[in-house]
Chains A and B, each alone.
Chain A
């Protein structure tokens, strides 16, 4: 009955939108009524309403006036939470890493495939925003992008292109020493370039000060400088077979990172890498986002000093044997980081990595943290608002607040229960996933001999 109502309204909208091209589904108001609403940023309403208009959240709360023309999702017995934000994944594109290990000029935007099964899985599991980041098998892996998980073309999905740069401290080939040396060399180049620019500016400032009386001359400086730049670029074009401006473009990207204008993901495989990452960030003024390997828990105290949110390895619980004493230890990452006072968020393992069944789902990762002592409230924030803050997109997504993007998940029950499924995923006010129409899920759940 209720579903019929939605269906009918949808057809109506479809009809209307066909009649008038300016009138699209996203523009009609949508309301989810009588549901338990977990806003994450504020209170949880046991029986509340979310009103969505023009892709944004217009109102949320106990008493919300729903306009007559609104499409209504009856949420009795359902739970609404903000869409999940995946802060670090290398899926959704054809190849996680380039063979060449130093490629700061590359962007994942050129590689994102909106039809990748990853995005379909995202919608099925309530992930509405995702940072697509070059993989860990690199040195300087290129630029990440933050996207919504639904769209026909990559441009429809983009929240922010060139959102961050990816570095990895795990050696691609050769030793850790050479990995670090090469990384420092590349960053130093950018540092020197910035220094040169600063010196030049300083000189210009001095000259400017000298010639303060004649403003016309100072104006003439500007075009002269830019033409100089062009000359340099055409020079390197002649030298390099790699393509137009690859090196210069790369240098520009690194400069942004060094100026703190572009955050830098640093993948740390071992605890020892934390020391190196910390020093890199200090020496070069990087705004770092640390992506941790399993072993990094040994540096939990050092991480606590950094006072920044870290991204945990997908395997949250594992066993470790001391090779010398043969002492066995069960390592529970959420517990260790919580006790050390390190704020953390989760990653999921990719579908083909053959991790444990649960580690490929965000809700399961959160449930695991709750199992070992994290509060359910904090666990849900670690799926939504915390990653949004880490990616600096929390003004748009990450919680159910008036004015934010209408990225919501309607669940059949409490988010961390084993039997809970995503009923609807809504991105920008549009229903992009409806379980009733998910034929693939139905097939997986009811295998038929073919």
Chain B
């Protein structure tokens, strides 16, 4: 989180008037090319989905220094601005449960407690995943560690393009409160195998979380982990690090919420396939949900887990009417939003569920998630209504730079 603040501070000031001086500072600070920062462009759209406000048709947005500086039905642009005309414009899509660029599946199989691991260290920046993400209009991704260790490590947040893509290396610690960590471990095997260890069942998963957090409160004990790990675990208890819990079945979600209550943290639930069984209790907990159950791709089967929960189509619609804060996440987010509307989520909510709400989940809604003056210029241009399957992404803009066709 700290990194994020430092990086964005000069950009924020840039808007308050000290443009020239700070533009130079920013250039040094961000290391970005001068062109990207000085580019002024005006995008004119037949319809512009701001997402947090009304739909402008027509709508225009002025972009300078990678930020949105003006917005309206008609905007006055300086003479040197490049004008781009498109049919439809919406904010960049944010995926809060991605594996973009992860060079392997991110699973640490030798130990269950590795909160000091960081997915940022495993990203292949030349991976095709980034091209695919841009092609689908995704501009920001939170990259989750695999769920095969109970304390699985830090998720990071990155932009899908640009010279300085890392937003934060330590967005939060991921806890796998689900059946996944038990998948490799065996109670009977060769005694020297690394797979002879807990947990082999779900009781073991919860026990490991409790025992680990309990030991983290006893600094003098002889601990089986490094000082760095101890510090992170402490950070979970003090609220310095946010907690992401991957839980899909209703009892796993309940366990995760209970663990949070007992140890003084508020987890964000990732997965949530069976949340429809416990809407009222979930609402009462005040937790946020990152719903990944609309994912059907074989490549993302990890998101659906091994519990074999049945896909229930209109859970997003019911989450909305229950007033539970949630967002959609996983691959093919435009399609997920499309099917969410088909199955009962209002259209404007479906767009928010892949832009503004994930930005709120990341606590970055002051920077991302809608077309609003002052926010980063992350935009997606389409050939028509984003929620129609016949509409195609024309290009994706990240920090004022256009990628794709």
Contacts and interface: CB of A to CB of B under 8 A. Distances in A.
Given A355-B297, A419-B341, A449-B276, A328 B128 contact: yes
A355 B315 CA distance: 20
Interface stretch (A45-53, A130-138, A217-225, A368-376): A368-376
A370 B128 contact: no
A319 B134 CA distance: 13
B344 A357 contact: no
Nearest to A445: B314
B118 to A, nearest CB: 26
Most B CB within 10 A of own CB, among A328, A372, A445, A447: A447
9 contacts: A354-B296, A355-B297, A356-B297, A356-B335, A357-B335, A367-B388, A418-B338, A444-B313, A445-B317
Interface string A418-450: 110000000000000000000000001111010
A416 interface: yes
Interface residues of B, number: 35
Contacts of A368: 389
B187 interface: no
A354 B339 contact: no
Contacts of B387: 418
A373 B294 CA distance: 28
A367 B334 CA distance: 14
B297 A445 contact: no
Nearest to B279: A449
B314 A357 contact: no
Interface in A351-400: 353-358, 364, 367-368, 370-372
A82 B338 CA distance: 25
A417 interface: yes
A378 to B, nearest CB: 13
Nearest to A326: B126
B296 A355 contact: yes
B227 interface: no
Nearest to B135: A330
Nearest to A421: B342
A35 B278 CA distance: 43
A351 to B, nearest CB: 10
Contact of A447 (B126, B128, B276, B338): B276
B6 interface: no
A333 to B, nearest CB: 15
Contacts of A354: 296-298, 301
Interface string B307-320: 00000111101100
B391 A371 contact: yes
A371 B135 CA distance: 14
Given A354-B301, A444-B313, A447-B318, A319 B132 contact: yes
Contacts of B339: 357-358, 418
Given A356-B297, A418-B389, A444 B336 contact: no
Nearest to B342: A418
Nearest to B338: A418
Interface string B281-304: 000000000000010111001000
A416 B313 CA distance: 19
A371 B389 CA distance: 7
Contacts of B389: 358, 364, 367-368, 371, 416, 418
A449 B388 CA distance: 31
B392 interface: yes
A355 B294 CA distance: 12
Contacts of B332: 356-357
Interface residues of A, number: 26
A71 to B, nearest CB: 30
Contacts of B135: 330
Nearest to A379: B390
B277 interface: yes
B336 to A, nearest CB: 7
Given A419-B342, A449-B276, A357 B296 contact: yes
A371 B336 CA distance: 17
A58 B264 CA distance: 72
A353 B299 CA distance: 11
A321 interface: yes
Contacts of A418: 338-339, 341-342, 387-389
B393 to A, nearest CB: 10
B291 to A, nearest CB: 13
B131 interface: yes
Given A321-B128, A444-B313, A445-B343, 11 more contacts: A319-B131, A319-B132, A326-B126, A328-B131, A354-B297, A364-B389, A371-B383, A416-B390, A444-B343, A449-B277, A449-B278
Contacts of A417: 388
A367 B390 contact: yes
Interface in A308-324: 319, 321
A445 B344 contact: yes
A417 B387 CA distance: 9
B332 to A, nearest CB: 6
Interface in B361-405: 383, 387-392
A417 B341 CA distance: 11
A319 B342 contact: no
Nearest to A354: B298
Per CB-CB distance, the 4 closest pairs between chain A and chain B, nearest first, are A367-B389, A447-B312, A449-B277, A354-B298
B341 A446 contact: no
Contact of A356 (B128, B132, B296, B392): B296
Contacts of B344: 445
Contacts of A445: 313-314, 317, 343-344
Contacts of B277: 449
B315 A447 contact: yes
B285 to A, nearest CB: 16
Contacts of A419: 341-342
Contacts of B392: 371-372
A326 B127 CA distance: 10
B131 A370 contact: no
Interface in A89-145: none
A356 B131 CA distance: 18
A265 B185 CA distance: 46
Given A328-B131, A447-B314, A357 B336 contact: yes
Contacts of B132: 319, 330
